[in-house]
Structure 1
Amino acid sequence: MSDTIKMQLVDAALPHVAFDGWSDETFEAAVVDADVNPTVAKAVCPRGAVDLAVAFHERGDVQMRAALEAADLSDMRFRDRVAFAVKTRLELCDDKEVVRRGTTLFALPQHAATGTKLIWGTADAIWTALGDTSDDINWYSKRATLSAVYGSTVLYWLGDESEAHADTWAFLDRRIDNVMQFEKAKAAFNKSPFAKIMAGPLVALGRVKAPEKTPPMPGRWND
């Protein structure tokens, strides 16, 4: 029930975001437009419009995963699959101003950690959808690298006025090429004599494991 109400509030908020941003004014207008009891709305979204902005972003991740599952990526190189996923995620946003306002919101110091978590979540959603099975330090490095690529591409996309965002996709390809070069260099290092010198630290890093999935907890308001 809580997710349903939150999505109703998100949809009601979107027409107001371009004018008032993800603000208290937008949240109050969404509550009225969605005809949701204000007390229930605050229970579902304790931070008001900030929680709506988070829900809007996370809904985009869900839609992206569905689109990737429906797409045939079998003939693509892996780097092209990553580029396709990022492109798909951005093309799901049909109103740049809504995204721009969210970027501004999560650039504020008090919301920066939330913004970083959202970008990490998008990177994790992409890697998971593409079948990543890593459970060691690579789980973290892949998501950290893709977070940087995704974040910089969003900023470029927001200012891109080229036809069909051609400049953005070229920018994205260059960033992914940089990542691939880094991965090749890392592989070459692992085969070099220097890897033996760093054997101790590398063994320690090898003990780092991906986080385990948290099982459902009792006492939560579920649909």
Structure 2
Amino acid sequence: MPMTAYPDPTLEKLLDAALIHVVFDGWGPETFRAAVADSEVSEALAKVAAPRGSVDLAAAYHKRGDREMVKALEEADLSDMRFRDRIAHAVWLRLQAVDREAVRRGMSLFSLPHLAPEGTRLLWETADAIWSALGDSSEDVNWYTKRATLSGVFASTVLFWLGDDSDGFTDTKAFIDRRIDNVMQFEKAKASVRENKALSAMFALPNAMLSMVKAPAGTRRGDVPGTQTASQGENAE
């Protein structure tokens, strides 16, 4: 699934220059000033590309990780993998696409109350990128539940990964497997309710209401911000 939103080259240049400073100074004003100086981007142009300074650089770094993950998925041979293993592999690829200390600093930044909503949105975009890259074509309430559950999985996985000192991050890989199993159990539980006549009758009214919930307009369009263009593929419902 191609990521259709092309990154701003000026923002990417600033980001490249900033990364060496993030480990020491975090995603703060000092890092942004150093990035402007090192990249030789004019201050005026830098403020256009990143009006919030390092906050915009941190968000750009997260989105770069999503793009790298999607690219790695496109190049991977997933044909022999079970669907749950494809999801687990995508989460692992997403972790490999970023520097752990830069992520640690980013989590500190987006845990600030005024930035927490943006941090949540970025997590949602990562979950959306994974589901879309794996061919999810749901257009009803499942579009939301899949991304909500995977957002929770990814957030908890990142927290675990940041504290993992096992060789080759084997503990993180095992953690991902356990959490993906939780996601698949949830999907199976939804399917069981639909297939059970008694339960279907019991939930007839809620299901009727939920059936009116649709995926956001533009989910299949590349020109709508915050949405992904899903490739043709397997529906993971």
Hey, what does 2:169 align to over in structure 1? 165
- 2:15 corresponds in structure 1 to 10
SS of structure 1 residue aligned to 2:114 = helix
Runs of at least 5 residues in structure 1 that lack an aligned partner in the other structure: 218-223
* TM-score of the pair, normalised by structure 1: 0.93
Name the TM-score, length of structure 2 as normaliser.
0.88
Question: What is the rounded CA distance, in whole Å, between the counterparts of 1:105 and 1:211 in structure 2?
Answer: 28
Task: Judge which range, 33-42 or 188-197, deviates more.
Answer: 188-197
User: What secondary structure does 1:109 align onto?
Assistant: coil
For 1:24-68, what per-residue CA distance to the aligned partner results, in whole angstroms no more than 9, with x for missing partners? 110011000000111111111111100000001101111111111
User: Across the two proteins, how many residue pairs are aligned to each other?
Assistant: 216
2:110 to 85, 106, 110: 106
Cα distance, 1:70 vs structure 2: 1.0
Going by fraction, where is helix more abundant, 1 or 2? 1
Percent sequence identity is 58
Instruction: Give the Cα separation in 1 of the matches to 2:85 and 2:76.
Output: 13
Question: Against the structure 1 CA distance between its residues 135 and 2, is the aligned structure 2 distance closer, same or farther, given a 3 Å change threshold?
Answer: closer
Measure, in 1, the Cα distance between the counterparts of 2:140 and 2:174: 31
RMSD of Structure 2 on Structure 1 (CA): 1.5
Within 5 Å, give how 1:123-134 maps onto structure 2. Answer: 123-134=127-138
1:140-199 CA distances to partner (integer Å, 9 max, x unpaired)?
000001000001000000000000000001011111111222222222222331321221
Helix, strand or coil for the counterpart of 2:101?
Answer: helix
Query: Is 2:78 the counterpart of 1:61?
Result: no
Residue 115 of structure 2 aligns to a residue whose secondary structure is helix
The answer to whether 1:74 aligns with 2:79 is: yes
Task: Kindly state the Cα deviation for residue 2 of structure 1 after the two structures are TM-superposed.
Answer: 7.6
Instruction: Give the corresponding residue for 2:181.
Output: 177
Per the alignment, residue 220 of structure 1 pairs with none
Which residue number corresponds to residue 45 of structure 2? Answer: 40
5+ long unaligned stretches in structure 2: 1-5, 225-237
* SS of equivalent to 2:8: helix
